[in-house]
Structures are given as structure tokens and as C-alpha cells.
Amino acid sequence: MLIFLQNILYNLFISMGVILGGCFFGGIAATFNGHPPLKTMLDLCEKIKIWAIIVALGGTFPSFKMLEVGIFNGDIRGLFKQVIYILSALTGAQLGYRLIYYLEGLSKL
């Protein structure tokens, strides 16, 4: 059970880190290119959100394999774990997106 909870936290923070890191470095590149950095960061967040989820899950094929085993072979426990892992990665990516979104909103004040 402890490993399961650790993996949930890994997925959450890895996906959030991919979003935040990619957007911050993209904002730096936008500054060098003369584009508005915060708008560019927000655009990048929307584009790389799915990739952050894929990175956190370690690729999509193991996740789909576990879903297949869970559905067709009746391994409900494995299916439940994979759904929780996917939801934690989605949550991390959404949290990273929201942080960038609120950062852009704060800059307008």
C-alpha cells in the first residue's frame, strides 16, 4: 500500500513538474524572441498537458496493458490502480496549468 501511495505522489509531481518546467523555460525563450512570456507560457501549458501525463505514467503502453488485463482478465485491483495513477497524473498536470494561469492573472493586476 505504501508503494501505491508513493507512486501516486510521483505521478502527481512529475506531471506538474513537466508543466511548470516546460512553461517556465518556454517563457524564457519567448522573452529572448520578443514575445509576451506569460501568454506564451499559458499557450504552452495547453499544448504540453497531455505530454506531461504521458511522461508521468512512463509511456502509455504499460498503462493500456494494465487496463486491458483489468478489463478482459478480471483483475479489478490492477484496473483500479491504473485509473488512480492516471487521475493523479491528470491532477498534477491540471495543478501546474492552474499555477501558470493564476500567474498570468496576477501579472494583470
- Span 59-70, pLDDT tens digits: 666 777 777 777
pLDDT of residue 109: 55
pLDDT of residue 107: 67
Per-residue pLDDT, averaged over 38-63, amounts to 86
pLDDT of residue 61: 67
DSSP code, position 73: S
pLDDT at 8 over 70: yes
pLDDT of residue 69: 74
pLDDT of residue 21: 95
pLDDT at 14 over 70: yes
On average, the pLDDT of the chain sits at 87
By the 8 A CB rule, do 92 and 11 touch?
yes
In the chain, % of residues over pLDDT 70: 94
Domain containing residue 48: 2-107
55 SS3 class? helix
Counting the structural domains of the chain, the total is 1
Q: Which alpha helices (H) appear in 1-109, and where do they start and end?
A: 2-33, 37-57, 60-72, 76-107
By the 8 A CB rule, do 109 and 32 touch?
no
pLDDT at 20 over 90: yes
53 SS3 class? helix
